[in-house]
Structure 1
């Protein structure tokens, strides 16, 4: 149902459709873990050429592993460390074309070569991040960044 090849139109319109489907899927449910679990599953089905997608949540001043799809992952990440921690510290999306060139990159999966991390912001505070890894270098385009930002904005209405 959610695989990208089942969507028509531009990548932008595909992400718009995906965000609308996420909104409908999460409508009426307010459990954070359930909604993050479904969101990671939806992205895992929709996105091609990725090897990990999931969430880290802020707890006691650090990121702690939340719902995800993929191989086992690092459980805790300090703010300012790696791509995820840097995205939290800067409160902005970070797209990394080659994770091996990113200072302080945390290699949870040696197969990962590129990454996008989008902070989940509520009332100006980071409550977590969406983290997506790919085995393909330079996997994430500006269209992906815009589409995933829309996806996160839709998700935040249900958290």
Structure 2
């Protein structure tokens, strides 16, 4: 199966999980579980939720325990919010200010989740493999997030 077809199928599964539920936490929990179960070679999948314009707090996730709070503008997740753009990081050790919640993580992709045009959270996915994520992963995950945003 091509990556495009894989992410299309994953998006449809995500929509089926969240479309009848209005609770943000429940929907984020199911999306985290779906991604952790479906994506190969990852060690963390979950959300950080904006608690204030300056800070995010850990949301539903799958993987090892994680950093609880991240300042906007700090690390890969905080940079995604500050720059309002997806971060695709081939090697986190080369990313200035990377926050190492799990020393096993070597690459990362972070997609901004929006409600009415404003960031409300980020979807963060980590891998122990350098270069795990590529442009197709980025585009597939952005499409998935955009498809489910109204349920988060």
TM-score (norm 1): 0.92
1:77 aligns with 2:70: yes
Contact 1:26 1:158 in 2 (8 A): yes
Instruction: For residue 11 of structure 2, give the secondary structure of its aligned residue in structure 1.
Output: helix
Structure 2 unaligned segments of length 5 or more: list them: none
Q: Which residue is equivalent to 2:13?
A: 21
Compute the RMSD of aligned alpha carbons. 0.8
Shift of 1:60: 2.0
Matching residue within 35, 43, 48 for 1:51: 43
The count of residues paired between Structure 1 and Structure 2 equals: 151
Shift of 1:122: 1.7
Contact 1:39 1:155 in 2 (8 A): no
Q: Which residue is equivalent to 1:111?
A: 104
Which consecutive aligned stretches of 4+ in structure 1 deviate over 6 angstroms post-superposition? Answer: none
* Distance in 2 separating the partners of 1:157 and 1:13: 23
Q: List per-residue Cα deviations over 1:40-85 (Å, max 9, x = no partner).
A: 0000011000000100000022110000000000000001000000
Q: List per-residue Cα deviations over 1:84-127 (Å, max 9, x = no partner).
A: 00000000001111101110000000000000000002222110
Matching residue within 30, 47, 54 for 2:22: 30
TM-score (norm 2): 0.97
